[in-house]
């Protein structure tokens, strides 16, 4: 997994500080409290781990930005303090840029970050950018039928970052006293490194899991359908088919009975009903005609009543006009009754109106009013007679319509009574037969709908048997593949050899050429066995006693793992971070161990690990000038050294303005 760390930028309240990393070895050393270990913590923080907050980070830290190259792609990772999400951007082919916000841990219902992939978290994204599929392991190491889960990038980081706090207290979480989850996950990583999770094993495990899940799903489906059939008293396929045949025969027999009944039945009373129905239709036509006549008469009556009202109004107007003329006769007007202006004294003709000066014929006016009144009386009398005739006609027509309506109602009642009388044994029998046919048809349709269920159960049961057989074959194949993988102990043997070689180069106390090293594949903890004084002596991480020995022992083991990965092309991160390998070791009292360890470092990273990256933090700097490999580390691309102190401006701390605890 080709990953190279390029820069780390630390964002603080009063400043932003960048740190450069060499392509091979980056070396931070100096006094404590300068933030050397914090650099590694922040790299790990950007790669998804929880932040270890020192007092300086608690007070001043805002976020960190990490630039790295994953399989040749430039990747930027940015994470803010307190956030469980990481902003990741990357460039492909120098002209395509992508960006996502990735959670550090996937949720159960989280969606994919990149369409068409299974990337749900930062770990998945790192594998995606490295063009790798995350390795899968069994969730439970005790149950064969457990589900497969992906190995996380965080699991691999246990073998790529030796934290100062755990470098001498935990051997990669492999010890029996470690947390079960971490211990089992660490063993999975070791199996991956040693080749025990070969492609064939992983493929068979995946096939077995999918087959088992498919079988369980089908079996549960069959059980649910069978429970439904049992609760509803539904028979099996054969019984349903036999019942369908019997029902079809019953339907045929009932239809034959109906046909025979209709052919043998004759009615003598059908013509009586037809006669009554014809008479009822005649009544209905007559009632409709009378209804139209009534509407026409009502219209004529309404018109004459309106005309009568108009004559009455005209008679009143004539009477009022005559009374007004009589009242105003002989009155002399001093002013105009229309506009109110004074009238000049005028001399008119005799018998003339004093206002309009027109002649007035008293007798003529009286005769005209009388003639008009007489005419109105004649017209009103004629109109009253016409109105009375129409009302008499309307009453007669309505009476006749009422008689017809009553007769029609009685005839309808008689028809209903006859129809009830004619609903005889024939109709009752026919209806009973039709009901029977309907019931049989409904039952037939219901059985046809239910028939696929028992068939489905039989089909599913057959599929379950096939899958059980396939599952058994896969188990046998998987068992054989695992046995073959573990029998191929070449990687394990080479790891033992590389580990002893590292210990010998460092000058680890108590190592002899004839010591026997064992790495048991049940826990992957290395044990050195020596025979002396007729006794066997075993040395392992847990019984080393000295914290300094534990630190060197663990560092040599992780270096052996990275050497093996480089030789065999094992896909683990290509960088290694070691925080204080000389912890609990005095550079003056144990100068041989100090020189031996860094001689190993410079030898490896100038040779077989030259294409890998090492970031190391320690108390003192051991220069490659003191080794035979100095020519390989003559520029900052191969070796970048940074001296850090908490109070020297020339060698500032990580947060340069901070002078706190």
Three-state SS string across 449-464, please?
A: HHCHHHHHHHHHHHHH
Which of 394, 416, 414, 417 shows the shortest CA–CA distance to 406? 414
Residues 6+ apart with CB under 8 A from 432: none
Q: 425-450 vs 452-487: helix axis angle to the nearest 10?
A: 10
Q: Contact 48/86 with Cβ under 8 angstroms?
A: yes
Residues recorded for the chain: 661
Q: Contact 78/63 with Cβ under 8 angstroms?
A: yes
The confidence score (pLDDT) of residue 383 equals 80
Q: List b or e across 215-235, with b for residues whose CB sees 16 or more CB atoms inside 10 angstroms.
A: beebbeebeebbeebeeeebe
The better pLDDT of the pair 437, 69 is held by 69
Percent helix, percent strand, percent coil in the chain, to nearest 5? 55, 15, 30
Residues 6+ apart with CB under 8 A from 611: 566, 574
Q: Contact 26/640 with Cβ under 8 angstroms?
A: yes
Rounded to an integer, the average pLDDT of 365-378 is 73
Rounded to an integer, the average pLDDT of 476-497 is 78
Q: Which two tokens stand for residue 378?
A: 């004649």
Rounded to an integer, the average pLDDT of 176-186 is 86
The confidence score (pLDDT) of residue 220 equals 87
Annotate 425-450 with DSSP letters as a single string.
HHHHHHHHHHHHHHHHHHHHHHHHHH
pLDDT digits (tens, 9 = 90+) for 292-317: 988 888 888 888 888 888 878 877 77
Please check the confidence at residue 268 and state whether its pLDDT lies above 50. no
Q: Which two tokens stand for residue 221?
A: 């489906």
First to last CA, the chain: 39
Please check the confidence at residue 207 and state whether its pLDDT lies above 50. yes
Instruction: Map 218-237 to HEC letters.
Output: HHHHHHHHHHHHHHCCCCCH
Map residue 162 onto helix, strand or coil: strand
Please check the confidence at residue 261 and state whether its pLDDT lies above 80. no
Q: What does the DSSP 8-state code read for residue 51? A: P
Measured distance CA(645)–CA(649) in Å, rounded: 8
Residues 6+ apart with CB under 8 A from 582: 548, 551, 594, 597, 618, 619, 620
Ordered by where they begin, the domains of the chain are 3-195+488-644 (3.40.50.300)
- What long-range pairs does 77-84 form, CB within 8 A, spacing at least 24? 77/46, 77/47, 78/46, 79/45, 79/46, 81/51, 81/57
Measured distance CA(151)–CA(133) in Å, rounded: 10
Map residue 366 onto helix, strand or coil: helix
Residue 148: enclosing H or E segment and its boundaries? Answer: strand 148-150
Measured distance CA(319)–CA(323) in Å, rounded: 6
Please check the confidence at residue 76 and state whether its pLDDT lies above 90. yes
The better pLDDT of the pair 335, 494 is held by 494
Q: What does the DSSP 8-state code read for residue 34? A: S
Rounded to an integer, the average pLDDT of 511-521 is 79
Q: Contact 357/349 with Cβ under 8 angstroms?
A: yes
| Confidence grade of residue 442 (pLDDT, cut at 50, 70, 90) | confident
Please check the confidence at residue 552 and state whether its pLDDT lies above 80. yes
Please check the confidence at residue 112 and state whether its pLDDT lies above 80. yes
Name the phi and psi angles at 123, rounded to 5: -60, -50
Rounded to an integer, the average pLDDT of 229-246 is 72
Measured distance CA(175)–CA(184) in Å, rounded: 10
Measured distance CA(503)–CA(596) in Å, rounded: 9
Annotate 370-402 with DSSP letters as a single string.
HHHHHHHHHHHHHHHHHHHHHHHHHHHHHHHHH
Q: Contact 196/151 with Cβ under 8 angstroms?
A: no
Measured distance CA(371)–CA(487) in Å, rounded: 145
- What long-range pairs does 295-300 form, CB within 8 A, spacing at least 24? 297/390, 297/393, 297/394, 297/397, 298/394, 300/390
Rounded to an integer, the average pLDDT of 20-27 is 95
The confidence score (pLDDT) of residue 253 equals 85
Strands 85-92 and 73-80: antiparallel
| Confidence grade of residue 645 (pLDDT, cut at 50, 70, 90) | very high
Residues 6+ apart with CB under 8 A from 226: 457
Please check the confidence at residue 320 and state whether its pLDDT lies above 80. no
Q: Dihedral, CA atoms, 538, 544, 549, 553, nearest 10 degrees? A: 50
529 bridge partner residues = 516, 538
The better pLDDT of the pair 66, 327 is held by 66
The confidence score (pLDDT) of residue 223 equals 83
Residue 454, Cβ density class (10 Å: 0-12 exposed, 13-18 middle, ≥19 buried): buried
531 bridge partner residues = 536
CA distances from 34 to 121, 271, 577, 646 (A): 33, 121, 18, 4
Measured distance CA(372)–CA(366) in Å, rounded: 10
Rounded to an integer, the average pLDDT of 57-65 is 94
Rounded to an integer, the average pLDDT of 413-440 is 73
Residue 30: enclosing H or E segment and its boundaries? Answer: strand 25-30
Measured distance CA(4)–CA(444) in Å, rounded: 73
76 bridge partner residues = 67, 89
Please check the confidence at residue 266 and state whether its pLDDT lies above 50. no
Please check the confidence at residue 48 and state whether its pLDDT lies above 70. yes
Please check the confidence at residue 117 and state whether its pLDDT lies above 70. yes
103 bridge partner residues = 85
Task: Classify the phi-psi angles of 2: left when phi > 0, otherwise alpha if psi is within -120 to 50, otherwise beta.
Answer: beta
Which of 39-43, 105-109, 393-397, 505-509 shows the lowest mean pLDDT across its residues? 105-109
Strands 613-618 and 575-579: parallel
Q: Which two tokens stand for residue 616?
A: 């190391």
Q: What does the DSSP 8-state code read for residue 113? A: S
Q: Which two tokens stand for residue 19?
A: 């740190």
Share above pLDDT 70 across residues of the chain, in percent, rounded to a whole number: 84
Rounded to an integer, the average pLDDT of 79-105 is 90
Return the residue matching tokens 């045949």. Answer: 245
Whole-number mean pLDDT of the chain?
83
Which of 102-111, 253-262, 634-643 shows the lowest mean pLDDT across its residues? 253-262
Note if the pTM is more than 0.85. Answer: no
Q: 452-487 vs 199-231: helix axis angle to the nearest 10?
A: 160
Strands 136-138 and 148-150: antiparallel
Measured distance CA(213)–CA(224) in Å, rounded: 17
Q: Which two tokens stand for residue 272?
A: 């009586």
Measured distance CA(619)–CA(28) in Å, rounded: 8
| Confidence grade of residue 22 (pLDDT, cut at 50, 70, 90) | very high
Give the highest mean pLDDT range of 3-17, 164-178, 250-264, 424-438: 3-17
pLDDT digits (tens, 9 = 90+) for 327-356: 766 666 677 766 767 766 655 556 666 666
Return the residue matching tokens 């092309």. Answer: 569
């Amino acid at each position: 997994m080709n990953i190279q760390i390029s820069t780390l930028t630390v964002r603080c309240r009063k400043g932003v500080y960048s740190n450069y990393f060499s392509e091979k070895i980056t070396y931070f050393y100096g006094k404590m409290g300068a933030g050397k270990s914090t650099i590694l913590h922040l790299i790990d923080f950007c790669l998804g781990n929880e932040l270890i907050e020192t007092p300086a980070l608690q007070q001043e830290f805002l976020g960190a930005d990490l630039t790295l190259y994953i399989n040749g792609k430039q990747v930027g990772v940015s994470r803010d303090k307190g956030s469980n999400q990481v902003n990741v951007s990357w460039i492909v082919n120098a002209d395509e840029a992508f960006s996502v916000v990735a959670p550090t841990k996937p949720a159960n219902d989280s969606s994919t970050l990149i369409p068409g992939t299974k990337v749900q978290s930062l770990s998945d994204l790192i594998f995606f950018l490295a063009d790798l599929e995350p390795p899968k392991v069994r969730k439970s190491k005790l149950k064969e039928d457990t589900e497969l889960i992906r190995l996380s990038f965080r699991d691999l980081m246990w073998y790529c970052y030796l934290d100062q706090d755990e470098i001498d207290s935990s051997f990669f979480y492999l010890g029996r006293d470690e947390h079960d989850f971490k211990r089992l996950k660490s063993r999975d990583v070791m199996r991956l490194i040693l080749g025990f999770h070969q492609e064939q094993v992983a493929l068979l495990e995946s096939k077995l899991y999918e087959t088992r899940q498919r079988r369980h799903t089908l079996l549960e489906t069959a059980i649910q359908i069978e429970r439904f059939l049992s609760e509803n008293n539904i028979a099996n396929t054969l019984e349903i088919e036999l019942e369908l045949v019997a029902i079809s025969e019953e339907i045929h027999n009932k239809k034959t009975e109906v046909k025979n009944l209709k052919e043998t039945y004759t009615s003598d009373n059908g013509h009586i009903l037809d006669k009554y129905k014809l008479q009822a239709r005649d009544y209905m036509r007559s009632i409709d005609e009378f209804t139209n006549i009534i509407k026409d008469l009502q219209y004529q009556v309404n018109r004459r009543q309106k005309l009568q009202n108009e004559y009455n109004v005209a008679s009143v107007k004539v009477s009022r006009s005559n009374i007004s003329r009589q009242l105003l006769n002989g009155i002399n007007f001093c002013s105009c009754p229309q506009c109110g202006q004074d009238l000049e004294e005028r001399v008119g003709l005799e018998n003339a109106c004093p206002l309009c000066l027109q002649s007035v014929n008293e007798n003529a006016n009286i005769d005209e009013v009388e003639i008009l009144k007489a005419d109105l009386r004649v017209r009103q009398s004629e109109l009253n007679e016409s109105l009375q005739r129409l009302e008499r006609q309307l009453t007669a027509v309505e009476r006749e319509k009422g008689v017809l309506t009553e007769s029609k109602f009685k005839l309808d009642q008689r028809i209903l009574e006859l129809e009830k009388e004619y609903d005889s044994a024939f109709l009752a029998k026919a209806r009973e037969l039709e009901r029977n046919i309907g019931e049989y048809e409904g039952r037939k349709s219901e059985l046809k709908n239910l028939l696929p269920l028992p068939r489905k159960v039989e089909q599913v049961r057959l599929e379950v048997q096939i899958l059980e057989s396939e599952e058994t074959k896969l188990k046998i194949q998987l068992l054989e593949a695992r046995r073959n993988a573990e029998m191929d102990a070449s990687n394990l043997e080479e790891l033992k050899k590389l580990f002893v070689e590292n210990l010998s180069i460092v000058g680890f106390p108590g190592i002899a050429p004839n010591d026997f090293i064992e790495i048991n594949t049940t826990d992957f903890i290395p044990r050195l066995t020596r025979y002396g004084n007729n006794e066997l002596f075993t040395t392992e991480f847990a019984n080393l006693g000295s914290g300094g020995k534990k630190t060197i022992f663990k560092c040599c083991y992780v270096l052996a793992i990275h050497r093996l990965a480089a030789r065999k092309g094992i896909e683990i991160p290509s960088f290694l971070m070691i925080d204080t390998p000389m912890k609990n070791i005095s550079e003056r009292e144990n100068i041989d161990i100090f020189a031996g360890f860094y001689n190993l470092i410079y030898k490896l990273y100038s040779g077989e690990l030259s294409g890998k990256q090492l970031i190391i933090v320690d108390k003192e700097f051991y220069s490659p000038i003191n080794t035979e490999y100095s020519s390989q580390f003559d520029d900052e691309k191969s070796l970048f050294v940074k001296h850090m102190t908490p109070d020297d401006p020339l060698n500032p701390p990580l947060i340069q303005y901070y002078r706190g605890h």
